[in-house]
Amino acid sequence: MTLWRYDALRRDPLTARRIPVTSMRPLHSYLLAVHKESRHRPTEREVKILIEFIEEKKQRVFTAEERRLMGSCPFDTHPGVTTVVVHKYAPDDWGYRLASWPTSVFTPTSPKTERTIGPWPLVELLDRINEGSERQFTSWTAWKNGHPEVFV
């Protein structure tokens, strides 16, 4: 028996796909995590999109050696990143928060609240997350264009 050192759910099916399922304030610096309290689960297509989001960030931000070290672990983590936690409210209705945010709110907020934005399908949500800088958005857009089999 090996000791599981992650706060992600060990037996969740997404773990086998290198996607941690954890709280809105994970203990580790995952590149991306799915909120364990999401009532809805990602579809197979959405899982592939989440994997591409993680992979694009790895290619854009980290060296080959850092990527190699990440690959030797169950999840992609790095102490210098702030985890993006995504939450699926319903089909084509996703929210996100950064683990560092002081509030417990996702953006957009739950459909049970009075919204001013949303709902956002997963790709639109990830587009908005990548609007941080022109370089980041350009890289993300090129990545999507280079993987039409996922981003149809």
Name which of 86, 80, 82 is nearest 120 in CA terms: 86
Give the mean model confidence (pLDDT) for residues 78-97. Answer: 96
Instruction: Name the strand (E) or helix (H) holding 143.
Output: helix 134-146
- pTM for this structure? 0.94
Task: Name which of 77, 82, 88, 152 is nearest 120 in CA terms.
Answer: 88
Domain boundaries, the chain: 13-100+115-144
Q: How confident is the model at residue 2 (pLDDT cuts 50, 70, 90)?
A: low
134-147 tens-digit pLDDT: 999 999 999 999 99
* Residue 24 · residue 74 · CB < 8 Å: no
Distinct helix (H) and strand (E) counts, the chain = 4, 4
> What digits encode the pLDDT tens for the residues 18-33?
999 999 999 999 999 9
Joined together, the tokens standing for residue 14 give 């997404």
